[in-house]
Amino acid sequence: MQPIKNLWMKFPVGYETPYYMTETNNQKQRYIHLDALRGFAVMGIVTMNIIAFAMPQNAYLMPNLFGPARASDAAAWIGNFIFFDGKMRGLFSLLFGASMMLIIMRAEDKGDSSAKIHYNRMLWLILFGLLHFTFIWYGDILFLYGVMGCFTYFMHHLDAQKLLKWGLGIFISFTLLLTIALGGLLYQKYSAESSDATSAEIADYQLFKDEFKPDAQATVAELDAYDKDYADIVRFRIAEEWTTPIFSIFIGITETLPFILIGMALLKNGFLLGQSDTITYKKTVIYGLGGGIILNSLIAFIIFKNGFDIAIIFNAIQGWSNIPRLMMTMGYAALIILFISKSPFNRLLQRTAAAGRMAFSNYIGTSIAMSFIFYGYGLGYYNEISRAGLFPIILGTWVIMLLWSKPWLEHFHYGPLEWLWRSLARRALQDFRR
């Protein structure tokens, strides 16, 4: 936590940061740092989202849902847990907060109503999220961002120090509460497995474990529903999964909300814009990314040694790994910023930044492509490909994002969905073609 503490003790705060550059052809020049970080996040998040497209929800948690995990699938699960799970989502959330803050600050500098602009954007984002959830994929995050954005606006006037303290305070407080609460599940597990366990203790814990068996009602319903045609899948999502967006709000308060606040702070103090000193970034990489990998590796070892027990996994994902997740998210951000500072004109970097400028279009486009690959109305590969076997599809998705985003932006100012969102939020058609 020391590098994170240094962020609010050392960096400049307030509005004195030169948070955007000069205007050219009525388009503000963009910071490549934010775009490249966003591109890295939207590509990285595919590694975890694809599991939720390709398999039942419980398989996201358990590589052994349908029996003992093969070595390749166990290795894939552990690799994702250590390096990707929650980190790309965390980076995405940081950047959402930073972009939100940037738009608010620009509006206030121009004398416009930042509240009007902000809430127009958030309300349309909420609608996009609900449409995405209903008609494309249940794992939508846009709705959650829109709701959390409505709350975090009330704190946009705070300086970077206060935003960081609020963000870290909320995050750490909920992490402690979740860890304590989930500790009760561990107690239930060890009580049921002890030599003097009562029949009631054994039955209660068995009832919990039965919910994560392949013949559990929820898993069977998913396997049946997502093998059908489009109309049946939409009906299933509305009838059986309609609470998912609402439930995501409660989960979002524990992670998404504080990450957005931290992102707002890191925009104000210049960290996400590459304006901090090199030593700060290097220390964040060493302590954040390096320390987080070590801690997550230890947690992964505990999970593996306990045979991917669901009680251990719940504690690991929702409690133990929260702090390492924040550390690694910050470490990834610092590492990419260091790379940008050394090689700002690298071709791969430029393509990654272009993918980041079109993160909304790439995110929804990925959902459309993945649902076609796996669901019954498309190629029908739902629950047909192993966890390790999904990596070629992940790599193919990355290649497509990198190949199409840059050429598109050479002809258009925005990605197609970015343009639509901007036009709707501003209630006027925006310049599209260059």
Helix H or strand E segment including 27: strand 27-28
Q: pLDDT digit string (tens) for 125-164?
A: 999 999 999 999 999 999 999 999 999 999 999 999 999 9
d(CA 414, CA 420): 9
Looking at residue 251, what is its pLDDT? 85
Domain presence at residue 171: yes
pLDDT score of 56 more than 50: yes
Query: Residue 188 pLDDT more than 50?
Result: yes
* DSSP sequence for 341-398: HH-TT-HHHHHHHHHHHTHHHHHHHHHHHHHHHHSTTTT--TTTS-TGGGHHHHHHHH
Give the model's pLDDT for residue 17. Answer: 34
Taking the C-alpha atoms of residue 122 and residue 147, their distance in angstroms, rounded to an integer, is: 7
DSSP string for residues in 106-120: HHHHTT--HHHHHHH
Is 434 within the bounds of a domain? no
For range 344-368, the mean pLDDT: 94
Q: Is residue 190 part of a domain?
A: yes
Q: Which of 365, 425, 410, 360 is nearest to 35 (CA)?
A: 360
Alpha-carbon distance of 392 to 397, in angstroms, equals 9
Any domain includes 127: yes
C-beta of residue 387 within 8 angstroms of C-beta of residue 75:
no
What number is the average pLDDT over the span 341-368?
93
Whether 415 and 357 have beta carbons less than 8 Å apart is answered as yes
Q: SS3 for 30-46, per residue?
A: CCHHHHHHHHHHHHHCH
Q: What is the total count of domains within the chain?
A: 1
Tell me, yes or no, whether 432 lies in a domain. Answer: no
Chain segment 18-34, per-residue pLDDT in tens: 333 333 343 444 688 99
> In this structure, are residues 155 and 166 in contact, taking their beta carbons and an 8 Å threshold?
yes
- Buried/exposed 110-119: b ≥16 CB within 10 Å, e otherwise: eeeebeebbb
Q: Residue 14: is its pLDDT beyond 50?
A: no
Residue with the two structure tokens 């998404």: 256
274 in a structural domain: yes
pLDDT at 30: 64
Cα first-last separation, the chain: 45
pLDDT on residue 8:
38
Q: What angle do CA 362, 63, 296 make, to 5 degrees?
A: 75
Distance, CA of 364 to CA of 366 (rounded, Å) = 5
Q: In whole angstroms, what is the distance from residue 428 CA to residue 117 CA?
A: 12
* 118: its two tokens: 């902000």
Write out pLDDT tens, residues 291-326. Answer: 999 999 999 999 999 999 999 999 999 999 999 999
Query: What pLDDT, on a 0 to 100 scale, did the predictor assign at position 341?
Result: 87
Under the banding of pLDDT at 50, 70 and 90, the label for residue 235 is very high
Please provide the DSSP assignment of 83-105 as one string: HTTTHHHHHHHHHHHHHHHHHHH
- Give 23's DSSP letter: E
Amino acid at residue number 195: S
Q: Mean pLDDT across the stretch 358-372?
A: 98
Q: Which domain holds residue 191?
A: 2-426
Q: Which of 1-15, 219-233, 243-257 has the lowest mean pLDDT?
A: 1-15
* C-alpha angle 261-267-94 in degrees, rounded to nearest 5: 45
In a domain, 431, yes or no: no
| Contact predicate 382/376, CB 8 Å | yes
Query: pTM higher than 0.85, yes or no?
Result: yes
How much of the chain, in percent, has pLDDT values that exceed 90? 88
Per-residue model confidence as pLDDT tens digits over 2-11: 444 444 333 3
| pLDDT level of residue 429 (50, 70, 90 thresholds) | very high
Whether 376 and 231 have beta carbons less than 8 Å apart is answered as: no
Predicted confidence band at 345 (pLDDT cuts at 50, 70, 90)? confident
Looking at residue 12, its pLDDT comes to 33
Q: Is 416 part of a structural domain of the chain? A: yes
